[in-house]
Amino acid sequence: MTLALAVCIAVLVGAGSYLLMGRNLPRLLFGIVLLGHAANLVIFTLGGGARAGAPIVPEGSDRLAAGHADPVSQALVLTAIVIGFAMLAFCAVLFERVQKATGDLDVDALRPGDEEGDGS
Amino acid sequence: MNLLVVLPVLVPLSAAALGLLAWPRPRLQRAIGVVGSLGLLVTGVALLQRTWSGAVLHSTLGGWSAPFGITLRIDLLGALMITLAGLMGAAAAVTALRSIDRRREELGFHPLLQGLLLGVSGAFSTGDMFNLYVWFEVMLISSFALLSLGASRAQLLGGARYVVLNLLSSLLFLTALGFLYGMARSLDMADLAVRLPALQSEHPQLVLAASGLLFVSFLLKAGVFPLYFWLPPSYPTAPTAVAAVFAGLLTKVGVYALIRVHGSVMPSSPLLFEVALVLGALTMVLGVLGAVAQMDLRRILSFHILSQIGYMVVAFGLLVSEEPAVRRLGVAAAILYITHHIIVKTNLFLVGGLVRELGGSFDLARLGGLRGRTPWLAALFAVPALSLAGIPPLSGFWAKLAVLEAAVAAGRPVIVAVAAGAGLLTLLSMLKIWNQAFWREAPGELAADAGAGSEDRAGRWALVVPVVVLALCTLAIGFYAEPFVAAAGRAADVLLTVPSMAMEVGR
Compute the average pLDDT of residues B206-214: 93
Compute the average pLDDT of residues B200-220: 92
Instruction: Tell me the per-residue pLDDT of B296-307, one tens digit each, with 9 for 90 and over.
Output: 899 999 999 999
CB of A66 within 8 Å of a chain B CB? The answer is no
Test B134 with A79 for CB contact under 8 angstroms. Answer: yes
Residue B498 pLDDT:
63
The proportion of chain B whose per-residue pLDDT surpasses 70, expressed as a percent, equals: 95
Give the span between the Cα atoms of B491 and B488, in whole angstroms: 5
Query: Choosing among B70, B163, B167, which should be mutated to test the A contact, i.e. which has the most A CBs within 10 A?
Result: B167
B222-246: string of b/e by CB count within 10 Å (b at 16+)? bbbbebbebbbbbbbbbbbbbbbbb
* Burial environment of residue B445 by CB neighbours within 10 A (0 to 12, 13 to 18, 19 or more): exposed
Residues in chain A with CB shorter than 8 Å from the CB of B230 are none
Residue window 40-59, chain A: list those with CB within 8 Å of chain B: 40, 42-48
Region for B49 from its dihedrals, namely left if φ exceeds 0, alpha if ψ lies in -120 to 50, beta otherwise: alpha
CB of A37 within 8 Å of a chain B CB? The answer is no
Instruction: Tell me the per-residue pLDDT of B241-274, one tens digit each, with 9 for 90 and over.
Output: 999 999 999 999 999 999 999 988 888 888 999 9
Residue A104 pLDDT:
73
Largest CA distance in chain A: 71
Test A20 with B238 for CB contact under 8 angstroms. Answer: no
Residues in chain B with CB shorter than 8 Å from the CB of A28 are 164
Do the Cβ atoms of A20 and A45 come closer than 8 Å? no
CA atoms within 13 A on the CB side of B374: 22
Do the Cβ atoms of B333 and B400 come closer than 8 Å? no
Distance from the Cα of A42 to chain B's closest Cα (Å) equals 6
Test B163 with A90 for CB contact under 8 angstroms. Answer: yes
Give the span between the Cα atoms of B368 and B120, in whole angstroms: 37
Test B240 with A120 for CB contact under 8 angstroms. Answer: yes
The interface predicted TM-score (ipTM) is 0.90
Specify the length of chain B in residues: 507
Confidence bin at A118 (pLDDT 50/70/90): very low
Residues in chain A with CB shorter than 8 Å from the CB of B240 are 119-120
Instruction: Tell me the per-residue pLDDT of A5-56, one tens digit each, with 9 for 90 and over.
Output: 999 999 999 999 999 888 888 888 999 999 999 999 999 888 777 777 777 7
Test A116 with B237 for CB contact under 8 angstroms. Answer: yes
Test A98 with B99 for CB contact under 8 angstroms. Answer: no
Test B148 with A94 for CB contact under 8 angstroms. Answer: yes
Test B130 with A76 for CB contact under 8 angstroms. Answer: yes
Residue B485 pLDDT:
92
Instruction: Render A30-83 in DSSP notation, one character per residue.
Output: HHHHHHHHHHHHHHHHHTTTTSSB-S-PPTT-SSPPTTBPPHHHHHHHHHHHHH
Distance from the Cα of A119 to chain B's closest Cα (Å) equals 4
Confidence bin at B499 (pLDDT 50/70/90): low
Confidence bin at B448 (pLDDT 50/70/90): very low
B506 pLDDT above the threshold of 70: no
B505 pLDDT above the threshold of 70: no
Of A35, A101, A120, the CB nearest to B153: A101
Contacts from B272-276 at CB under 8 Å and sequence distance 24+?
B272/B211, B272/B212, B272/B215, B273/B316, B273/B317, B273/B318, B273/B319, B273/B320, B274/B317, B274/B320, B275/B215, B275/B317, B276/B215, B276/B219, B276/B313, B276/B314, B276/B316, B276/B317, B276/B320
Distance from the Cα of A108 to chain B's closest Cα (Å) equals 10
- Mean pLDDT score across all residues of chain B: 88
* Residue of chain A whose Cα is closest to the Cα of B168: A32
Test A94 with B237 for CB contact under 8 angstroms. Answer: no
Test B178 with A35 for CB contact under 8 angstroms. Answer: no
Residue B503 pLDDT:
45
Of A42, A48, A115, the CB nearest to B154: A115
B424 pLDDT above the threshold of 50: yes
Instruction: Tell me the per-residue pLDDT of B7-56, one tens digit each, with 9 for 90 and over.
Output: 999 999 999 999 999 888 888 999 999 999 999 999 999 999 999 988 88
Residue A109 pLDDT:
67
The proportion of chain B whose per-residue pLDDT surpasses 90, expressed as a percent, equals: 57
Residues in chain B with CB shorter than 8 Å from the CB of A43 are 174, 177-178, 181-182
Residue B107 pLDDT:
83
Supply φ then ψ for residue B57, to 5 degrees.
-90, 140
Confidence bin at B85 (pLDDT 50/70/90): very high
What's B126's DSSP letter? Answer: B
Do the Cβ atoms of B190 and B127 come closer than 8 Å? yes
What's B150's DSSP letter? Answer: T
Confidence bin at B68 (pLDDT 50/70/90): confident
Instruction: Tell me the per-residue pLDDT of B473-488, one tens digit each, with 9 for 90 and over.
Output: 999 999 999 999 999 9
Residues in chain A with CB shorter than 8 Å from the CB of B99 are 120
Give the span between the Cα atoms of B47 and B171, in whole angstroms: 32
CB of A117 within 8 Å of a chain B CB? The answer is yes
Angle between helices B461-479 and B76-99 (to 10 degrees): 150
Confidence bin at A2 (pLDDT 50/70/90): confident
* Residue of chain A whose Cα is closest to the Cα of B244: A119
Cα dihedral sign for B213, B215, B221, B223? negative
Instruction: Render B153-164 in DSSP notation, one character per residue.
Output: HHHHHHHHHHHH
Residue A96 pLDDT:
87
Instruction: Tell me the per-residue pLDDT of B139-175, one tens digit each, with 9 for 90 and over.
Output: 999 999 998 887 777 788 888 888 889 999 999 999 9
Residues in chain A with CB shorter than 8 Å from the CB of B153 are 101-102, 115
Do the Cβ atoms of B330 and B252 come closer than 8 Å? no
Query: Residue B453, Cβ neighbours under 10 Å: how many?
Result: 8
Residue A119 pLDDT:
46
Please give the helix or strand (H or E) that residue B97 lies within, else none. helix B76-99
Residues in chain B with CB shorter than 8 Å from the CB of A5 are none
CB of A36 within 8 Å of a chain B CB? The answer is yes
Do the Cβ atoms of B364 and B381 come closer than 8 Å? no
User: Helices (H) and strands (E) in chain B — how many of each?
Assistant: 22, 2
Residues in chain B with CB shorter than 8 Å from the CB of A76 are 130, 177, 181, 187
Give the span between the Cα atoms of B367 and B361, in whole angstroms: 7
Residue B17 pLDDT:
95
Residue B457 pLDDT:
67
Distance from the Cα of A102 to chain B's closest Cα (Å) equals 8
Give the span between the Cα atoms of B233 and B231, in whole angstroms: 6
Specify the length of chain A in residues: 120
Instruction: Tell me the per-residue pLDDT of B332-370, one tens digit each, with 9 for 90 and over.
Output: 999 999 999 999 999 999 999 988 888 888 888 888 878
B126: which strand partners?
B72
